[in-house]
Structure 1
Amino acid sequence: MMEGTGFLPAILVIVSSGTFIINYVIAIIKGHIDVIFPYISDTGTTPPESCIFGLMTSITAMAGVATMYARYKFIERLIERTGGARPMLNKIALGFGLLSCLGMNIVATFQETVETYVHDAGALLFFVTGVVYIVLQTWISWQAFPYGSTRAVCRTRSLISCVAVLALFPTVICAILVGKSDDIRWKGDEKNYGFHLASAVCEWTVAFSFIFYFFTYIREFTLFTMTVKAELVEQN
């Protein structure tokens, strides 16, 4: 049995990875996408996978909000007891994390082929603020060290953050160079296929960087619990 609040990041990791993998497999079986590195959104464009993509992405966003808030409260209590990390940095990180979850909800609600510009804006919000979030959390981990996280965890988070940052730029830049395309099936001889492939590979890299990053939360979350306290307001 998992102790503390370790189930929160565990659920987030399972649901998010399931969202990517399940939709990819279904889209391949149905013949809706190419096998070699489609965009993540391409795997959730056509029914029935579009329905699963929207549902699981929304659940992932909710799990992300819960996990990020729990992390915020953990760091807040850690700061009270040990100092180290800055309270304002903890609040800023939470803000960026919640924005990334909002971007994820926009991606789930506005499909790529229906509302392209809104979908792309949501994806940009999700990826950019998500990367900023994990960079800030890595900074917080090092500030709070040796409390909360081990040196190995801090180094792992630093590595994942570096990979995400390096992959983010070609994801966005190459996607802009590709431009808008009504066809999600790429044959390989198109003019901008190289940009598409680079953007898609880097997009998957950033996405799984998030998954591996939240995986590092699981052991840490077993060290604390959270309770909800309800208080009745006296009315005259």
Structure 2
Amino acid sequence: MEFRGLGFVPLFIALWCTAWVVVSYTLTVIYGHAPLLMYISQTGNYYPENITFKIGFLGMSNATLVLMLLQYNFILLHAEAFGARQPMIQRILLAMGITSCIGTAVMSVFETDFYPVTHRVGAFCAFACGCVYNLWQAILLYEVPGIRRAICHIRMVSSAMAFIGVITFIGCRVSVYTKLCTEDYEKIIEIISISTEWLMLLLILIQLVTCFQPMQHLSLTVSRKGYTICKRENQDSAV
């Protein structure tokens, strides 16, 4: 069985992520478990929205891991456009990507209200490692032949903004936990933190959409002997 063009993978992840976030947020508001302006993690603290929260995050974690493996193969298949050290760098980035996916899974299983430390460690690994991974891959995309400049620019801007968002979010949370900000400014810091988290989610969705064209350049062949990922022969129809 052959799949010519794997652009459906990032689109599926984007639709999956949007669906479970909307459902979890709606249920949380309906049952009054959190205010309208809430952290994403607050949609997973209570029943029944914690079910969609866990299923959504775990599904996203596994699907994102598949996408990262495809991106790893995608870059290696275009290794001639990069230096000799690129395979080693890609292994390091893949390790960071796997760490991000594990952090996402941990964040979904351990609710913030009941396991705050574990949840925050998982969230830090998910956001920090994921943003570094996406930013580096966005830089490399400029060197890959056949990719539209507009796609490269959108992915770079969204990845850079997400990276800045992570730094802003971590800075806000540290200032609250360590009491560096006064009580008068704590509410403002909370609003900035929540807004930044939702903005990062939007940027992740944009990055997923920009992965469509690059993944269309891949072909997947599955047989009893295993699977093979290669460049798609008909590049014109993949763009």
Question: Is the structural similarity TM-score above 0.5?
Answer: yes
**Code of the aligned partner of 1:132:** V
Percent of aligned pairs sharing the same letter: 24
Instruction: Tell whether 2:204 aligns with 1:203.
Output: no
Give the Å deviation of 1:231. 4.5
Whether contact under 8 Å (1:97, 1:129) holds in the other structure is: yes
Point out where structure 2 has 5 or more consecutive residues left out of the alignment: 227-239
**Code of the aligned partner of 2:202:** F
Q: What residue number does 1:183 align with?
A: none
Give the Å deviation of 1:229. 5.3
Q: Distance in 2 between matches of 1:44 and 1:153?
A: 34
**1:71-90 equivalent positions in 2, closer than 5 A:** 71-79=71-79, 82-84=80-82, 86-90=86-90
Whether contact under 8 Å (1:110, 1:118) holds in the other structure is: yes
Q: What residue number does 1:215 align with?
A: 209
Give the Å deviation of 1:163. 1.0
Q: Distance in 2 between matches of 1:58 and 1:16?
A: 10
Give the Å deviation of 1:53. 0.3
Q: What residue number does 2:45 align with?
A: 45
Q: What residue number does 1:19 align with?
A: 20
Whether contact under 8 Å (1:111, 1:119) holds in the other structure is: yes
- Structure with higher strand content: 2
Q: What residue number does 1:97 align with?
A: 97
Q: Distance in 1 between matches of 2:159 and 2:32?
A: 34
Q: What residue number does 2:57 align with?
A: 57
Matched residues, number: 218
Give the Å deviation of 1:228. 4.0
**C-alpha spacing 1:83/1:229, structure 2 compared with 1 (3 Å):** farther
**Code of the aligned partner of 2:98:** L
Whether contact under 8 Å (2:4, 2:220) holds in the other structure is: no
Whether contact under 8 Å (1:26, 1:49) holds in the other structure is: yes
Whether contact under 8 Å (1:141, 1:148) holds in the other structure is: no
Whether contact under 8 Å (1:174, 1:195) holds in the other structure is: yes
Q: What residue number does 2:174 align with?
A: 176
Provide the secondary structure at the position in 1 that maps to 2:129.
helix
Q: What residue number does 1:10 align with?
A: 11
**Code of the aligned partner of 1:218:** F
Instruction: Tell whether 2:221 aligns with 1:227.
Output: yes
Instruction: Tell whether 2:186 aligns with 1:192.
Output: yes
Q: Distance in 2 between matches of 1:87 and 1:22?
A: 40
TM-align CA RMSD: 2.1
**Code of the aligned partner of 2:205:** I
**C-alpha spacing 1:191/1:74, structure 2 compared with 1 (3 Å):** closer
Give the Å deviation of 1:169. 1.5
Give the Å deviation of 1:114. 1.4
**Code of the aligned partner of 2:118:** V
**Code of the aligned partner of 1:215:** V
Deviations 1:79-113 (A, max 9, x none): 2xx43362223222222111111110001111111
Whether contact under 8 Å (2:147, 2:213) holds in the other structure is: no
Whether contact under 8 Å (2:10, 2:211) holds in the other structure is: yes
Q: Structure 2 length as normaliser, TM-score?
A: 0.84
Give the Å deviation of 1:190. 7.4
Whether contact under 8 Å (1:53, 1:108) holds in the other structure is: yes
**C-alpha spacing 1:29/1:190, structure 2 compared with 1 (3 Å):** farther
Correspondent of 2:148 among 139, 147, 150: 150
Deviations 1:109-157 (A, max 9, x none): 1111111100010001101001101111112112x24x14221111111
Whether contact under 8 Å (2:103, 2:126) holds in the other structure is: yes
Q: Distance in 1 between matches of 2:102 and 2:119?
A: 12
Q: What residue number does 1:185 align with?
A: none
Q: Distance in 1 between matches of 2:190 and 2:24?
A: 20
